[in-house]
Chains A and B, each alone.
Chain A
Amino acid sequence: MGKPSDLVQGTLDLLILKTLSTEARHGWAIAKRIQQLSGEVLQVQQGSLYPALHRLEQQGWIKAKWMESETGRQAKFYSLTTAGRSQLEKETASWERLSGAINLIVQEG
């Protein structure tokens, strides 16, 4: 089993940032949201999710806050910072360029 973080690292960052763009969420909710929005195709492993979250926090793109969750228990909620928002725009743009390019090739073939 390869390290999933190696395979989708850039993409996972983008997905997390995108998920957080609407509201602050905790780790579990982020994983669920990605799974749900991708139509159950993308399963985010906890082993990749938390290191990625911590890395993004270190980068200053997201910030964390302990708040009460929907079950009434304390949970760590992540939200986008201003820097994170512009990072999301950059990553979205670069993803669109990349996937567009890949699409062109795949459809041509």
Chain B
Amino acid sequence: MRWLDRIRVRVEMLLRRGHAAQQLDEELRFHLERQVAEYVAAGMSPEEARHAALRAFGNPAALRDRARETWSWSGVESVLRDARIAARTLMRAPGFALTAIGIMALGIGANIALFTVVRSVLLKPLPYQDPERLVSIYEGDVGGNHPEWSPYLPVDAGSMKDWQQAARGIADMTFASPWQQYNLSAEGGRLPEKIDAAWCSWNFFALLGVEPVLGRSFAPDDDRPGAQAAVLLSYPFWRRRYGGDPAIVGKSIWLDAKPYTVIGVLPESFVYLSKMVGTPIQVWTPLNHEAPASLLNTYEDHEFIVSARLIHGATLTGLVERLKVVQKQIVAAHPKPAVHNSVAGMSMLDDAVYGYKTPLYALLAATGCVLLIACMNVSSLLVARSAARARELAIRTALGAGRLRLMRERILESLLLSAAGGALGLLLAWGGVRWLVQTRQDMHRVEGIHIDGVVIGFAMGAIALCTLLAGLISASGSGDRQILASLQESSRGQSAGRARAGLRRALLVMEVGLTVVLLTGAGLLLKSYQRLRNSDLGVPVDNVLTMHISLPETRYKKPEQWVAFFETLIARVRALPGVQAAGLVSKAPGEGWGGDSLMTVVERPPMRKGEATDMMVRGAEPGYFDAIGIPLLRGRLFTTDERLERAHVAVISRTAERTFFPNGDAIGKHLKNDFTGGVVEVVGVVGDTRWYVSEAPQPTLFWPIYGNNYSVATIVIRAQRDVESFAMPVEKLIGQMDPDLPVSDVMTLREAIGRSTTDSRFDSILVLAFAVIALVLAAAGLYGVLAYLIAQRRTEIGIRIALGARREQVTRLMLGDGLRPALYGLALGLGASALVTRLIESMLYQTRALDPAVLGAVSLILLVVAAAACLLPAWRASRLDPMEALRAE
């Protein structure tokens, strides 16, 4: 029980320090009175007795202090006292304090902001039940037609059914096809719109562990071809479109002009994200009811994502290995070029943030570097200050101040700076996170980003780390061995403070090194971004507007109706005043995948069975080539008359010509679709285009959109200027032709490119900003160290000049002194960059991780900045008046 008593006494002492002090006074007074009484009893006069008692008593203040020291909390009291001293010392040098706090705030703030993002986006579990056992399974095509393709490709229905059987006992599987769209009809005064949708197996939500907030989830009976059409709504869609109507379950909505019964509404927290799905899915429909039978029974059309829940004890690797065996058997049984030969998987969380992981961790690493640099800079400032206070410290040490006590002061000083910096940094981070959420609406899970308790904890951790780092580095420079030296040194100022300057130089080398790494990273990302911006789509991108329509097959049943609709529409668009040219295409350049087929040349059958070349396939209307600006190189374009059953003609791109007809004899030859068996005649060759801005041009085939089963089209409009202003008139035109038909993806080609380069721009600009901060800090550090060194060497310089050294010699000497750490740092940084940049290779576009131009530019910039930072102090040194410098002693 004794320890309990002791704690009680201590707590009492802490809480009632004032009271205890009063009691102590009371106790001592009592003692004094008894002493006086004793002396009086011995015969002294009261006055005499009092004096004698006081004499015997000694110094009451000292006695009181000694007694108080035994109280356990005297430690806290003295720390508080030291903190007050440190605060006062800092306030005496507001310039220093503000600089240091500002540096710390930048470093800590950037880190808090990035940590918040990383935590919310990459680390927070998905809103499913036991999400850590959920995995996504993809197909891979090792050694296939597209070595540049990702190792994670969508899955075909055939494989996925075989997999489901094979996975029994280690995982449950479910499927979804999340890139579907529906035309939602106008209803009750609401406009028609195109909505993103997903088909899924009936067990999809059960497997994820998601319960609808209204109604029910899919049942096996919904998920068959003959079932009544059912649909589940996402929460945001239900709120937006139906105003959160609580009686929505059981009502019908019209998708592609067919009625669907709403069976439920998904919870607000539910999101479905994967590397292939970025836009929020608004409605879910049962897969077997929606997908055509041909798609559900083939191994060659890859339209699905597989999600699996591992049973306890099973691993992702185990599952993938088992599926790989199955896939090998499938490839053996179906030796077709479109059958994928491999299996790959990752956790669903990794899938949801695929493509954001590397950039975010790279940014976090960059902010980590900035924080380290900030710490070094502040500790360098502290070292400089302690050097300036060397004499004071030496005297205090000589008078008996404990080493720990002095170190504690130093650490308290750095704690005050870090804490103030951290508080300011938290504010900065708050603003930064808000800015980031607004800028990066496209980023997955961005809506979940906010500052919470864990982030505050992280901030505390960052502050503690900075305190220790900055405080200890600066405190380590003041050992008491040097007392005598500093006392002597400060009276004779020749080679003063060498040791401390050495420490600062070492810090500076590291600082410059980190700066070089950041600059290199920023340079590589900027160059990639530049390349991306300038990558040639193959067509002029200014003043081109694109908008998408899709004709529902329930209302437009026959291909003749589609052709008629498209023909009328494009004629009316062309007639709009101000439209320079307009055309129709199934998918415009730079706006996405848009369909591909495996093709062979009829005149030259492949050597081996199963060999075919993948081509992008586009339906186009003859006016499209002129409207978008694709040049005709050879032969002719197809005509408007080559439609419907006469539509078996095609023009191919230059890359396609080079791939299929290296001798340049394409015209008149025939290409055969490996899957459908359809044959087209090549009539012309046109220029290359890119389907996505960062992807190389693919062999492309254009054939008439009038026919060839196209019920979707992208309208392409070119105008002299203000092409955006044509969106409204065209939408009105379409509304006149069919009020239920929604128009989607209205954007200019510029915007389409801008969207695909958002993250590249974002990453490169942020890293550049961090690199610039680092560069400024490093330059300030260089300046500071050199200015300090020169101040220390005034006498020496004075003697040199007095003995006849020329001004430029002095400048060169000092400049060399200042530049040396920059050079060492540069070498260190370039070495480190060589190791580190490999990690961001996946973020680069047409740029090598060790790009000599970038490395050269970084070295040059660093040297120029370093020289500029050193020039002023070096020049000042050369202007030194020798008489004055020598007399100052």
Contact = CB atoms under 8 A, between A and B. Distances in A.
A90 interface: no
Nearest to B56: A46
B9 A45 contact: no
Contact of B27 (A47, A59, A76): A76
Interface string B10-34: 1001000000000110111011011
A22 to B, nearest CB: 20
Q: At the interface, is chain A mostly helix, strand, loop or mixed?
A: helix
A47 B71 contact: no
B27 A75 contact: yes
Contacts of B28: 46, 50
A27 B30 CA distance: 9
A42 to B, nearest CB: 15
A99 interface: no
B498 interface: no
A54 B67 contact: yes
A73 B30 contact: yes
A91 interface: no
B66 A51 contact: yes
Which residue among A45, A51, A55, A69 has the maximum number of chain B CB atoms within 10 Å of its CB?
A51
Given A58-B6, A73-B33, A83-B2, A51 B69 contact: yes
Interface residues of A, number: 27
A28 interface: yes
A57 B67 CA distance: 11
A50 B226 CA distance: 97
Interface string A51-77: 101110111100100100101011110
B593 interface: no
A76 B23 contact: yes
Contacts of A5: 66
A92 interface: no
B10 A46 contact: no
Interface stretch (B57-65, B137-145, B479-487): B57-65
B70 A51 contact: yes
Nearest to A55: B70
Contacts of B37: 71
A77 B6 CA distance: 18
B5 interface: yes
A47 B66 contact: yes
A45 B31 CA distance: 12
Contacts of A53: 67
Nearest to A69: B30
A81 interface: yes
Given A60-B2, A60-B9, A28 B58 contact: no
Contact of A59 (B6, B56, B58): B6
B35 to A, nearest CB: 8
A88 to B, nearest CB: 14
A26 interface: yes
Interface residues of B, number: 30
Given A58-B70, A73-B33, A46 B57 contact: yes
B809 interface: no
A27 B67 CA distance: 13
Which residue among B27, B57, B63 has the maximum number of chain A CB atoms within 10 Å of its CB?
B27
Contacts of B71: 54, 58
A75 B37 CA distance: 15
A76 B34 CA distance: 13
A64 to B, nearest CB: 9
B58 A81 contact: no
A60 B67 CA distance: 16
Nearest to A73: B30
Contacts of B228: none
B6 to A, nearest CB: 5
A50 B23 contact: no
Nearest to B7: A60
Nearest to B66: A51
Contacts of B45: none
B62 A58 contact: no
A28 B37 CA distance: 12
A27 B35 CA distance: 12
A10 B27 CA distance: 23
Contacts of B9: 57-58, 60
B60 to A, nearest CB: 9
Contact of A81 (B5, B31, B56, B67): B5
Contacts of A57: 9
B72 A58 contact: yes
A25 B71 CA distance: 21
Interface string B791-828: 00000000000000000000000000000000000000
Given A47-B63, A50-B63, A50-B67, A27 B2 contact: no
A51 B64 CA distance: 8
Contacts of B34: 28, 71
A44 B710 CA distance: 110
A69 B9 CA distance: 24
Nearest to B63: A47
Interface string B176-194: 0000000000000000000
A73 B32 CA distance: 13
A48 to B, nearest CB: 8
B6 A27 contact: no
B12 to A, nearest CB: 11
Nearest to A84: B2
A57 B10 CA distance: 10
Nearest to B60: A46
Contacts of A27: 27, 30-31
A13 B678 CA distance: 108
18 contacts: A27-B27, A28-B30, A31-B31, A46-B28, A46-B56, A47-B66, A50-B66, A50-B67, A51-B69, A58-B9, A58-B13, A58-B72, A60-B3, A60-B6, A60-B9, A74-B26, A74-B30, A76-B30
Given A27-B31, A28-B34, A50-B28, 20 more contacts: A5-B66, A27-B30, A28-B30, A46-B31, A47-B62, A50-B27, A50-B31, A50-B63, A50-B66, A50-B67, A51-B69, A54-B67, A54-B68, A57-B9, A58-B10, A58-B70, A60-B6, A66-B23, A71-B34, A83-B2
For the complex of A and B, list the 7 residue pairs with the smallest distance between their C-beta atoms, beginning with the closest.
Answer: A55-B70, A54-B70, A28-B34, A51-B66, A83-B2, A60-B6, A50-B67
